[in-house]
Homo-oligomer: A and B are copies of this chain.
Amino acid sequence: MTRFALNRATTKHWPLPELVAGCAEAGVTGVGLWRDDVAAHGAAGAAALVRDAGLTVTSLCRGGFFADPGWYDENRRAIDEAAALGAPALVLVCGGLPAGSRDVDAARAHVGEALGALVPHARAAGVRLAVEPLHPMFCADRCVVSTLEQALDLAEPHPADAVGVVVDTYHLWWDDRVWGQLARAGRAGRIACFQVADWVTPLPAGVLLGRGLPGTGCVELRRFREAVDAAGYAGPVEVEVFAEEVWARPGREVLAEALAGYRDHVA
């Protein structure tokens, strides 16, 4: 279980001090944080909470949203927070179409421009930018980067240690081209994060909070884990589930179930 990491969004309402204590008790050594944690505890405070519990920060969610005004300054702040936390990667959810726009090609081109603008600051801070392709159902309103292939194309102009990609099973499982792209990502050394969630239907209104803990849905999770391993990735496996019914349960219980699902369906 040494690769298992808990993305704190899975237990959204579990206060960070209890969360890190619960992880330590369960033998979990990695936690993916969100900028909410930084807002609540300060970067130094959140970093100390994690470190003092014997854990490391596996990633920070999230930067991106490049269609928003102020994206440049906001992303520079997110990079600084990742650096202060010791997070090796800043996950980027790149944003949807600008208000009123139908030009998805232009929005994707703008993501490339935004990466170029941010890379110098990220390199100086020692933080890797991690472009996350989101499921195509989020293309309009959350992320115009819809496939691993697009994410790799966007990363390609930059050094691999400056820009990588996030492989999230929830977003990519439907894509028959993903296996070839995972191999490509491996050859280029681009896999910055590997996140696991399962696909369950029916989807809820708004579709954001419809994910399942590992093993509760239809995704070939182990096939993904084996494919990222074959691509040379040896980092943490973050379980990241957004779901109201999961959030409503005690953090400790959710963590135990995530660990069991990881063991039975991922490891």
- Which A positions have Cβ atoms within 8 angstroms of B? 97, 101-105, 108, 135-137, 139-141, 146-147, 150, 173-176, 199, 201-207, 217-220
Contacts and interface: CB of A to CB of B under 8 A. Distances in A.
Identify whether the interface residues of A are mostly helix, strand, loop, or mixed: loop
A101 B147 CA distance: 23
A218 B97 contact: yes
A206 B205 CA distance: 7
Given A101-B218, A108-B176, A136-B135, A202 B205 contact: yes
Contact of A136 (B101, B174, B206, B220): B174
Nearest to A146: B174
B199 A140 contact: yes
Contacts of A204: 205
Contacts of A104: 173-174, 176, 218, 220
A103 B137 contact: no
B146 A103 contact: no
A206 B203 contact: yes
A137 B135 CA distance: 8
Given A97-B218, A205-B202, A207-B207, A150 B137 contact: no
Contact of A203 (B150, B207, B219, B220): B207
A139 B174 contact: yes
A241 to B, nearest CB: 16
Nearest to A221: B102
Nearest to A103: B220
A104 B217 CA distance: 13
Given A146-B174, A174-B146, A204-B205, A218 B102 contact: yes
A109 to B, nearest CB: 11
B146 A203 contact: no
